[in-house]
Amino acid sequence: MVPRKYTKGYSGWMIVAAVAALVATALVLTIREKHPYREALPVPGPPGAIVQKYANALAVALQFFQVQKSGKLFNNKISWRGDSALDDGKDVGLDLSKGMYDSGDHIKFGFPMAYTATILSWSILEYGDQMSAVNVDQLELALDALKWITDYLINAHPSDNVLYVQVGDPDKDHSCWQRPETMSEERPSIQINRTNPGTEVAAETAAAMAAASLVFKNINTSYSDLLLQHAQKLFTFADTYRGSYSISIPKVQKYYNSSGYGDELLWAASWLYHATGDGTYLSYSTVKHGHTFAHWGVPTWFCWDDKRAGTQVLLSRVKFFGSSMSSNAEMKGLQLYRRTAEAVICGFLPDSPTATSSRSDGGLLWVHQWNSLQHPVAASFLAVVYSDYMLTSRTPALECSGKTYSPADLRNFARSQVDYILGDNPMKISYLVGYGSNYPQQVHHRGASIPVDATTGCNGIRWLNSSEPNPNVAVGGLVGGPFKNDSFIDSRNNSMQTEPSTYSNALLVGVLSGLLTTSSAVTSFA
């Protein structure tokens, strides 16, 4: 089986878009702090009517985290899933049985798993009230998925400068086609430490725990405190012992190779600032290391490898809603983050003067053939969040090279991408498994492809090569997505298009929750 060749860190638009115009624009964007017609804007109020198709899609998308769970399952709604990987971590004296498989295989990759938790946390913090407004069970499913990961991450951090970042041998795993419930191969636990550092994965795990600590702050205070303690220690570890985990763990280069760790350090510091209110974390991102790692003025794609665009939007929240204790230098840094965030948003909007040309013929943002949907869902999530920051702060418009756009324009862009995913596309197919009447039937997913009563051992290759639909539905999985010409080949062997991933699902959950109804942002996560 050919491993997924996820090329990390697409360096922003420059690989596939007209970067020169965007960079030039980013440096001269004017953020209008005062608009003469600001007072005419409506004051943000309670949510409006629920958009039922997004509510239905959210209910489907949340189930994928149940599909991906490892460990001893409780009250799992997926009938064909059972207990798996119960001995994970025993080789090092730890319980690493929880957590989630990243996609259609059975490796626990800590880097994308932590990112999934960070995005789930951000989604709940921004839109948890909307999830529960549709159905309280939706919020409960999101919280359950988040805690299943953070329970694992806590156990994976047994001491200050040790973090277990992978369970399983990816080469051995990818040579097998089997159900997770019947795995029998050796599953080694892999760590980073002071002599074999992994700054990006340690920092992303710190971000996940800091963000999750805010989610659980009013639900389980002691658990929230524990998460925050781990987050702070992990950030110190990540920053003190700098080095790429791709060098420390060479095997990961074929799967989740890192393009650098500066973005994760800024991302983690930004989340720790929100979680603690400690200005040293804000200073870290805006003054101490902003010029080094943020690459202000250069729009980039938001993904599991590159967190810069996410950090720019997250710190724009501070600029929108105020930080009276910030120094002049910090305020200048926040302004640069916000300007770059708006340059990113301008690249998304299809009729913007600086719009990226990286789109399919059908209007989908399209960057890379592997897991092509991860970028449009990430862009849509950032656009919805930013539109709500604008609405709540009564900011009527952002400017893209002289042309202005309202919060509604940002939401319309996000709707266009989500509607494409849900079936409004040239193939007339829903890329969300289980949503609608026409969705992929041969999802590249071991557990879904093998009948529950089949005995395969490692050699279930016949199920990979079968031309029949999967016997089990990987419900809620967002598959890789279409090619740039909007075509899609529903084949289990076509993993670049038919394999789902938890991190793409987390982003989809976020944007669907934001689009459920008209909304406004909370001004503080505290």
Could you give the residue numbers annotated as active site? 444
**Closest by Cα among 331, 294, 323, 319 to 309:** 294
The secondary structure of residue 217, as a DSSP letter, is T
Quote the CA–CA distance of 126 and 123 in Å, as a whole number. Answer: 5
* Unique residue bearing structure tokens 């970067």: 19
Residues 480, 496 contacting (CB under 8 angstroms): yes
Q: What is the token pair recorded at 77?
A: 């709604």
Residues 116, 503 contacting (CB under 8 angstroms): yes
Q: What is the token pair recorded at 366?
A: 């399209």
Q: What is the token pair recorded at 522?
A: 């909370």
**Closest by Cα among 62, 64, 66 to 76:** 66
Quote the CA–CA distance of 91 and 74 in Å, as a whole number. Answer: 24
Helix (H, G, I), strand (E, B) or coil at 236: helix
Q: Is the Cα torsion angle 153, 156, 160, 165 positive or negative in sign?
A: negative
Quote the CA–CA distance of 389 and 409 in Å, as a whole number. Answer: 14
Quote the CA–CA distance of 320 and 424 in Å, as a whole number. Answer: 34
